[in-house]
Structure 1
Amino acid sequence: MRLLALALLASPAMATELPAPVTDDMYLPVDRAEAELGQLLFWDPVLSGNRNISCGTCHHPKFGTGDGLALGVGEGGIGLGPERHVGDKDIPEERVPRNAPALFNLGAKEFTRMFHDGRVEVDAARPSGMRTPMDDEMLAGFSGVLSAQTMFPVLSQDEMAGHYSENEVSRAVRQGIITGEGGAWDLLSQRVAAIPAYRQRFEAVYPEIADGRAIAFTDISNAIAAFIAFEWRSDGAPFDAVLRGAATLDGAAARGMELFYGEAGCSGCHAGPFQTDQDFHAMGVPQFGPGKAARFETHNHDVGRMRVTGRPEDAYAFRTPSLRNVALTAPYGHTGAIAGLSAFLRQHADPKAADREMVLDVFLPAGIGRGDDFIEFDTPGTRAAVLAAVTTPPVSLDEADIADLEAFLATLTDPAAQKGRLGIPETVPSGLPVDR
């Protein structure tokens, strides 16, 4: 399939016009001092139960604000990125079931749903203005969904909290004591408040803390959210220059743009200024790993959005990721089961045809692989159900089309966002090691 036209802006060959350029008013305001406080907290392992994992361990700029792994390794992990592994001790009780999502542009107003299944989302009908797995009364004080999503990794025993016998935070989590005096959030807040440099910064940023209010976990979360919004705003890519009329694309990138917004139909889901419709779609991504299950469940399934809504029509649907900086965020899919971008493009174009030839070759860090990681992929009934949920029509792409699409997607890489605006601090107030 080849397109004959080589337009740089919308043309009759394109099914839709190009999106409007990104503007400042698309983002929530950020206080620089709050973001700078959040930078230190984001990189400080003090927020993990065993003081050995920071937010940046699994969301590192070296790996496109992910971790370079199919499925992350939090507690029990040693090292950074693809070199992270598990030793002979402290083996995770439960595996992280989904790929670490990228953090680009999460401060934009249209990002109202978090996580692959959207289980944290804006909901004006609820008293808190948000819907999460937590009760509404637990959401008071969070500045929004970007802040609220930070509550979950610190409570996950295999992401950041640690295992039951290892520390006071993990013990509180296991006992279900999250809020209130002695709860997991309170214990983490006390750790931070006990560090003079943090106390001084919180007092400078939040006047009510300067007036004597104790530092709350929501203050920590709000600062981290401000940092993420500031650090990884991404609207300085070559494609942004095209949308602003300051540049043009040529060659493979121009052909790829026409395919993306034309015959290939990519913009049907990857719409808008951030290349996402913020909705959920079943795309037949192969199931790999432990699946998403409650502690009392023993299956390896992951039905995606259906776990949130309970609606059968949402089975195996996952949130459309933004494609900003997508060339940096491998591996791909909610399970990270597809290592390369070209392979992922082929799978997305025609999931059913791709499945017939697919052989999963997923990198597993040393000490983490289990025999049942592939059980769902090797079960014909599960694979058939995953593929049956796909409703998008197949698209025929040849190798030249794939190369052109990759060339276009590379124009979504923003050097400033790739590096980060504040960067990785040399040290953090706790004095703990920083993952650099």
Structure 2
Amino acid sequence: MKLTLGTLCAGLLSSAAVFAGPLPTEATDDDFHQFPQELIMLGRDLFFDPILSGNKNIACATCHHPSLGTSDAMSLSVGEGGIGLGEDRHVDADNAPKARIPRNAPVLFNLGAREFSVMFHDGRTAKDRHAMFGIRMPEGRTLERPMPSALAAQNILPILSPDEMAGHPGENDIADAVAAEHILGPDGAWDLLTKRVDGIPEYSDRFDALGRTDLHITDIGTALSAFIGSEFRATNSPFDQYLQGGDAMNEAQLDGMDLFYGKARCSTCHTGTFQTDHNFHAIGLPQLGPGKNTHAAYADTGHGMVSGDPEDMYRFRTPTLRNVTQSAPYGHNGAYTDLEDVVRHHLNAVQGLASYDRNKPLLSAEVATDDWKAMDDFEEVMRIAEAIEISDVALDEIEIDKIMAFLGALTDETVGKKGLGVPVSVPSGLPLDQVSPPS
């Protein structure tokens, strides 16, 4: 019999049943890395400054803007070669992007907590006592000096990506160094970026005031982590207040909490203080965009590419659910723009994969790519489906509504309304990405 998506739904079953856990403990200051205010402020300016990109035209904040839930509100970003923010980002006619970024820009909420020791959707940067300075990095990008956290280490990787921030060969010296795989050591890509920052008197003076000896890329990554970890701490949600003994949650949210930590089994993976086990799971999300894989350019096998273990194929890191109502689209590739859609996918992952509506993602129409090669490859769809490891869950419509209410109770509305905010200008003098006024 010829296989179809219908037979896929009928023939594939998820793995053994799993069980939920107890409520987490409340978050405290001790859960977070602490940094001096001067370093946090320095990191803020570097975060918004395009000086860290090869062509000086894109900043960390471009794809992780506080006005867009610390992401960019797109399923797959337009990085190098784009102008503007979020849905308003358009292609620079003189420097058109070569491709979309293959994965959704991760949110930054609570990454300053000590327990966040695994970075990126595939975990390619992580705390690892066997690695140089205790942090595993991708091949050819080994740390040259100690860093305080995996977050600090991951900050110095997007600046090396041609499509994200570095640019392409022939466009600038950073891009040329990256293309030659000259990353480490004198005049490597990291060193060139460091010298560029150090050549700006205000940055140089502020690092001096913090006691630096010779500026290194690890100092820049650490400053960025100080800002990200402080600015985007989200620990004042109704759920946090409930854990502290308050009564900030309504009846629907409380019922949803009981389902989340009970019948719905959400907390099997979304466990702990920040609703993540920091582990990797295959949930059968539809694959779209340029992909990131070796066996087919349009595929994405996630953590399996990092670990080399066949059991890890198509597994991706469990995201935190803090401020999840503000961080659409969802999934490693932003396959769903609506939170309820991705919740429903979890209830029956095979059905979600088989019946996926290709109008769900939010993609820039200006980047001309074939986004659906993986979903048009039935064998690849079968591989995604066969890797699914989450069990089906039966919830009625009222119960789904209650789950949604609880997810809303995980939102700290004060994030973005406190802290340092967006600077008026940055030490390089380069223009900042502007938020479009409300229509």
TM-score (norm 1): 0.91
- Structure 1 residues 420 and 316: alpha-carbon distance in aligned structure 2, compared to 1, 3 A threshold: farther
Q: Is the 8 A contact 1:106 1:228 kept in 2?
A: yes
Match of 2:239 in 1: 239
- Rounded to whole Å, the distance in 1 between the matches of 2:71 and 2:265 is 27
Match of 2:429 in 1: 431
- Rounded to whole Å, the distance in 2 between the matches of 1:386 and 1:401 is 28
- Rounded to whole Å, the distance in 2 between the matches of 1:35 and 1:173 is 28
Q: Is the 8 A contact 1:119 1:131 kept in 2?
A: yes
How far off is 1:136 after superposition?
A: 7.7
- Rounded to whole Å, the distance in 1 between the matches of 2:417 and 2:348 is 34
- Rounded to whole Å, the distance in 2 between the matches of 1:33 and 1:82 is 33
Whether 1:93 and 2:91 are equivalent positions in the alignment is no
How far off is 1:50 after superposition?
A: 0.7
Match of 1:105 in 2: 110
- Rounded to whole Å, the distance in 1 between the matches of 2:69 and 2:127 is 26
Instruction: For 1:235, give the aligned amino acid.
Output: T
- Structure 1 residues 248 and 94: alpha-carbon distance in aligned structure 2, compared to 1, 3 A threshold: closer
Instruction: For 2:348, give the aligned amino acid.
Output: D
- Rounded to whole Å, the distance in 1 between the matches of 2:138 and 2:27 is 32
Aligned counterparts, 1:115-154, within 5 A: 115-134=120-139, 138-154=143-159
SS of equivalent residue, structure 1 residue 121? strand
How far off is 1:286 after superposition?
A: 0.7
Match of 1:198 in 2: 203
SS of equivalent residue, structure 2 residue 431? coil
Match of 2:333 in 1: 335
SS of equivalent residue, structure 1 residue 41? helix
- Structure 1 residues 298 and 281: alpha-carbon distance in aligned structure 2, compared to 1, 3 A threshold: closer
SS of equivalent residue, structure 2 residue 126? strand
SS of equivalent residue, structure 2 residue 375? coil
- Rounded to whole Å, the distance in 2 between the matches of 1:77 and 1:127 is 35
- Rounded to whole Å, the distance in 2 between the matches of 1:357 and 1:67 is 27
SS of equivalent residue, structure 1 residue 403? helix
Match of 2:403 in 1: 405
Match of 1:363 in 2: 362
**Greater mean deviation of Cα atoms: 84-93 or 125-134:** 84-93
Aligned counterparts, 1:42-61, within 5 A: 42-61=47-66
SS of equivalent residue, structure 1 residue 417? coil
Match of 1:185 in 2: 190
Whether 1:300 and 2:305 are equivalent positions in the alignment is no
Match of 2:386 in 1: 388
SS of equivalent residue, structure 1 residue 173? helix
Q: Deviations over 1:55-98 (max 9, x none)?
A: 00000111110011101111011111111122444233343110
- Rounded to whole Å, the distance in 2 between the matches of 1:130 and 1:302 is 24
How far off is 1:135 after superposition?
A: 5.0
Identity of aligned residues (%): 46
Aligned length in residues = 415
- Rounded to whole Å, the distance in 2 between the matches of 1:196 and 1:133 is 32
Aligned counterparts, 1:25-64, within 5 A: 25-64=30-69
Match of 1:20 among 15, 18, 25: 25
- Rounded to whole Å, the distance in 2 between the matches of 1:175 and 1:287 is 30
Structure 1, unpaired ranges of 5+: 1-13
- Rounded to whole Å, the distance in 1 between the matches of 2:57 and 2:410 is 34
- Rounded to whole Å, the distance in 2 between the matches of 1:19 and 1:34 is 31
Match of 1:283 in 2: 283
How far off is 1:420 after superposition?
A: 5.1
Match of 2:3 in 1: none
How far off is 1:16 after superposition?
A: 3.3
- Structure 1 residues 317 and 420: alpha-carbon distance in aligned structure 2, compared to 1, 3 A threshold: farther
Match of 1:230 in 2: 230
CA RMSD of aligned residues (A): 1.7
- Structure 1 residues 168 and 29: alpha-carbon distance in aligned structure 2, compared to 1, 3 A threshold: same
- Rounded to whole Å, the distance in 2 between the matches of 1:67 and 1:172 is 28
**Greater mean deviation of Cα atoms: 187-196 or 331-340:** 187-196
Match of 1:8 in 2: none
Structure 2, unpaired ranges of 5+: 1-18, 435-439
Match of 1:155 in 2: 160
How far off is 1:397 after superposition?
A: 2.3
SS of equivalent residue, structure 1 residue 66? coil
Instruction: For 1:259, give the aligned amino acid.
Output: L
Whether 1:265 and 2:265 are equivalent positions in the alignment is yes
How far off is 1:370 after superposition?
A: 1.4
Instruction: Kindly report structure 1 stretches of 4+ aligned residues shifted beyond 6 Å.
Output: none
- Rounded to whole Å, the distance in 2 between the matches of 1:377 and 1:366 is 19
Match of 1:72 in 2: 77
- Structure 1 residues 80 and 19: alpha-carbon distance in aligned structure 2, compared to 1, 3 A threshold: same
- Structure 1 residues 248 and 88: alpha-carbon distance in aligned structure 2, compared to 1, 3 A threshold: closer
- Rounded to whole Å, the distance in 2 between the matches of 1:113 and 1:278 is 7
TM-score (norm 2): 0.91
Instruction: For 2:37, give the aligned amino acid.
Output: R
Instruction: For 1:34, give the aligned amino acid.
Output: L
How far off is 1:227 after superposition?
A: 0.7
Q: Deviations over 1:382-405 (max 9, x none)?
A: 112111111221011233222211
